[in-house]
Amino acid sequence: DTGVSQNPRHKITKRGQNVTFRCDPISEHNRLYWYRQTLGQGPEFLTYFQNEAQLEKSRLLSDRFSAERPKGSFSTLEIQRTEQGDSAMYLCASRGANTGELFFGEGSRLTVL
Amino acid sequence: DQQVKQNSPSLSVQEGRISILNCDYTNSMFDYFLWYKKYPAEGPTFLISISSIKDKNEDGRFTVFLNKSAKHLSLHIVPSQPGDSAVYFCAASARKTSYDKVIFGPGTSLSVIP
């Protein structure tokens, strides 16, 4: 399977704990995106990488959120000191330089108790 | 501010009839538009796209129409099938800018009734 892979698929944590999600994009794609989706809403843009460079971060991304793509391949999204409001589906997507559409992974669902 | 709007949260259509999903945008820099379909517990999957240099793009049962002057696009599905029941997201990007963040609308939940 050469699609976008995300893990874990589901994470349940207690408030105040740190969590990390991983995304493996389609191998030849140099652009990688993180989105957050809550019930009844569309995917909300969080951040975007071109190769290893993080080109933009949304104002939604507080100081507790950090994303990396150290070698321009896989990416991680870490949330520190989780809050109940962080409960959401975290979606990763990738696309190539010459294609328009984003290819999404199946998402990582975070539940903060 | 919501740059991509889908004002109908839900839509019900009889099997075999046409489904029309609407989308409006506010940012005149947007030049590339996409439609995605999402089933529960899955990531969105790409359906069809259109560049701002066109006003129509067709792929099988799916056709997207773009009216740039009205900043409006629509997705037509004909004939509608029960398997089309899903949430549909409209998305837009400004590819001619130096970066291409893709902005999504809130979605329309389509139910196709057998």
pLDDT band at A69 (very low <50, low <70, confident <90, very high): very high
| A79: exposed, middle or buried (Cβ count in 10 Å: 0-12, 13-18, 19+) | buried
Residue listed under structure tokens 């903060």:
A112
Lowest mean pLDDT of B15-24, B25-34, B96-105, name the range.
B96-105
Parallel/antiparallel/unpaired status of strands A108-112 and A10-13: parallel
Closest CA in chain A for residue B89: A42
**Does residue B5 surpass a pLDDT of 90?**
yes
Contact residues on chain B for A50, CB-CB shorter than 8 A: 99
Residue B41 Rama label (left phi>0; alpha psi -120 to 50; beta): left
* Window 1-60 of A, Cβ < 8 Å to B: 4, 31, 33, 35, 40-45, 48, 50, 55-56
Please check the confidence at residue A46 and state whether its pLDDT lies above 90.
yes
Q: What is the tens place of the pLDDT at every residue in B49-93? A: 999 999 999 999 999 999 999 999 999 999 999 999 999 999 999
Per-residue pLDDT of A12-35, as tens digits, reads 999 999 999 999 999 989 999 999
Structural element, H or E, at residue B52: none
Instruction: Name the one residue in this structure whose structure tokens are 């997507």.
Output: A93
CA distances for A60 relative to A6, A14, A46, B107, angstroms? 21, 21, 7, 20
Radius of gyration of chain B (CA): 14
Q: Residue B98 has what pLDDT?
A: 54
Query: Omega of the bond prior to A8 within 30 degrees of 0, cis?
Result: yes
**Is residue A1 scored above 60 in pLDDT?**
no
**Which DSSP letter does residue B99 get?**
S
Asked if A56 lies within 8 A of B101 by C-beta distance, the reply is yes
Our CA-based measurement puts residue A91 at a distance from the nearest CA of chain B, in whole angstroms, of 7
Taking CB atoms and an 8 Å limit, are B102 and A33 in contact across chains? yes
Q: Which residue type, as a one-letter code, is found at position B93? A: S
